[in-house]
Amino acid sequence: MNAGRKSPPTEIVFFGGYDPDYPRNAIIRKGLERLGVEVKSCRAGGSRRAVFRYPLLLAKYFTTGTRRGTPLFVPDFRHKDVPLAWVLSRLPRRMLIFDPLVSRYETRVLDRGDARKGSAQAKHNWNIDRIVMRMSDLVLADTDAHAAFYVSEFDVEEKKVRTLYLGYDDTVFGRIPERVPDGIFRVLFYGSFLPLHGTDVIVEAARLLDSGFRFRIVGSGQTMEEFMRRADGIDRERLELSGNVPEKELPRLISEADAVLGIFGTTLKTGMVIPNKVYQSMACGRPVVTADTPAIREIFTPGEHLVCVQPGNAVMLAEELKRLRDERRFAASVAEAGGRLVREEYNPEKIGARLLGILGQEYGE
């Protein structure tokens, strides 16, 4: 869309039943606000079905008060809010930006396996992705790999899909002091136990390592039962399990770790994402170990900014954790280089500026 304007908008409306505190949304909002953009919210009924949510959103929209041409921004996971946003973006004409973060099809079918590939439910999710992405004037992707997937899988015009990396929230995460060695190498994983996380790989690596390693596993989710089955027989002193914790507690947990784990699965989605935990832990100054994927290599250099292992390879993960324990200078170098890159290039202002740069191009700048 080219509206003939000379600069990106100074106002934007976040639209839908989104979670304002979800990291992606908070980072973009804070970045834009710090750059002087007024971010308005038209949010309602996040847990309600679309048929009940739409009237609430309509009522909120007509009281939001926006200038002519202000774009509508539909945040992550709100695929079913795009059709209503599309109608509103045509009366009068304004840009519709969709930031899905992930597609329903890749998550529910290709990663989680909630529906069998080729089934009616799988086709339903695929159609939702295809329709709402094609409706949107601009689709944001968190990596180039994800952008390429959207284009090829859902037949979305390449020119309308642009990459905006996740980054991290510097009001929550930031450089913390190195941990004082106590003879134990402490490893942290936190996440929602999706198949792409490869928690089975983590537990098998823990089994291979000696008593000088302690793993803290934080979170719960789909693969938790399988994780517990595989963890049977491992001393709980070596493998500490915790439930979900608020985001504000994560910096403390990271500060108590010598290394933080990313993702290690072998699903298609693993290769297309850079998880929040990677940016967050690097910003805190801890060495990160994660799967070596095309997405990771878009902005990070393995061995310089972080440590990478073959997806699904527990033996390699165990060996790299030993290396981080035994080669402290290497561990410190990786933590420093990775942290510096993330803090300088992927803070909210930089993410906000990149989005404004994308919008500037779209508006004819």
Residues 189 and 338 in one domain: yes
Please tell me the pTM assigned to this model. Answer: 0.94
What whole-number distance in Å separates Cα of residue 74 and Cα of residue 95?
11
Closest by CA to 206, choosing from 181, 176, 228, 174, is 228
- Spell out the alpha helix ranges (H) of the chain: 23-34, 50-64, 82-89, 104-105, 120-135, 144-154, 199-208, 224-231, 250-255, 276-283, 294-299, 314-326, 328-345, 348-362
In a domain, 236, yes or no: yes
Contacts of 307 (CB under 8 A, 6+ apart): 287, 288, 289, 290, 320, 323, 324, 334
pLDDT for the residue numbered 65: 84
DSSP three-state, residue 188: strand
Structural domain containing residue 333: 185-345
CATH number of 121's domain: 3.40.50.2000
Residues 283 and 198 in one domain: yes
Residue whose structure tokens are 């409306």: 13
What whole-number distance in Å separates Cα of residue 97 and Cα of residue 120?
28
pLDDT for the residue numbered 363: 62
Residues 160 and 229 in one domain: no
Residues 223 and 86 in one domain: no
Residues 163 and 190 in one domain: no
Residues 328 and 210 in one domain: yes
Residues 157 and 28 in one domain: yes
Closest by CA to 195, choosing from 242, 263, 142, 276, is 263
Q: Work out how many domains the chain is built from and give that number.
A: 2
**Residue 246, both tokens:** 């608020």
Contacts of 95 (CB under 8 A, 6+ apart): 1, 3, 9, 69, 71, 72, 89, 137, 138, 359, 362, 363
Residues 207 and 293 in one domain: yes
Residues 317 and 354 in one domain: no
Print pLDDT tens along the chain (365 aa): 444 445 788 999 999 999 999 999 999 999 999 999 999 999 998 788 888 899 999 999 999 888 888 999 999 999 999 999 999 999 889 999 999 999 999 999 999 999 999 999 999 999 999 999 999 999 999 999 999 999 999 999 999 999 999 999 999 999 999 888 899 999 999 999 999 999 999 999 999 999 999 999 999 999 999 999 999 989 888 999 999 999 999 999 999 999 999 999 999 999 999 999 999 999 999 999 999 999 999 999 999 999 999 999 999 999 999 999 999 999 999 999 999 999 999 999 999 999 999 998 876 54
pLDDT for the residue numbered 126: 97
In a domain, 147, yes or no: yes
In a domain, 2, yes or no: no
pLDDT for the residue numbered 365: 44
Residues 353 and 280 in one domain: no
Beta bridge partners of 4: none
In a domain, 150, yes or no: yes
Residues 284 and 249 in one domain: yes
In a domain, 284, yes or no: yes
In a domain, 294, yes or no: yes
In a domain, 68, yes or no: yes
Residues 85 and 116 in one domain: yes
165 φ/ψ sector (left φ>0, alpha ψ -120 to 50, else beta): beta
Q: In one letter, which amino acid is 343?
A: R
